[in-house]
Each structure stands twice: as structure tokens, then as C-alpha cells.
Structure 1
Amino acid sequence: MGSLGPGRDAVVRPAYPHMLREDNLVWTRFLESGDFEVKEVWYDVHVGAWVPPPEN
């Protein structure tokens, strides 16, 4: 299994790369909840194989 690379600090940011606004709000609430001790996160991870878009 390959490495996910370096993680990011689990801090609230104004925006997160490649994250929709709605997801940003959920992620921010999660980080601010204090329900978990989060030291490092990986939220911008490539998943799956690339699929070419249709030509039409």
C-alpha cells in the first residue's frame, strides 16, 4: 500500500482544496466539536482510477 504523503495540521481553515462549500461546513464543525483528538488529517486524497470524460 502506498503512502498518503504528509498530513496537514487539524486546524480550521477558511477553505480546503477541492472541498465543496457544504463539505467545508461539515468538516469545520467536526474539527470544532472536540469529540476526537485530531493530530493530523488527510482530506485531499486521490481515490480511484482516472476515467476520461465523454467526448460529446
Structure 2
Amino acid sequence: MPGLKAATAEAGSCSSKRTCGQMASCDEARHYLTDCGMSKLDGDHDGIPCESLCK
């Protein structure tokens, strides 16, 4: 699956994505929250980023 491989590779870094709308998946959003320190992705501070992606 080339698409999955590309998304996984991109999720492995802290690129210029800054909003939930730019995230391709919940896993990517979690990476940005935990590994990149993007706390604004967790608006209600419950530990779950991008509620629309991580239902």
C-alpha cells in the first residue's frame, strides 16, 4: 500500500502540519500531539487529539 507507507513515513517526522484538518489519520494526530508537542491538537485537554479523527 503506497499511500499507507507514505503517510506512515510522513507521520514519523514533525513537519509543518499544525491543524487537525491537515492530519490524515488519528495515528498521525497522536504522533503530533505526543512526539511533536502540538498540544493545541487536544483542545479539551483530555489526551485525545483531533476529536473528529479520533472518535
TM-score normalized with structure 2 length: 0.28
Task: Tell me which protein shows more helix as a share of its residues.
Answer: 2
Which structure carries more relative contact order (alpha carbon 8 Å, separation 6+)? 1
Q: Which has the larger radius of gyration?
A: 1
Task: Tell me which protein shows more strand as a share of its residues.
Answer: 1
TM-score normalized with structure 1 length: 0.28
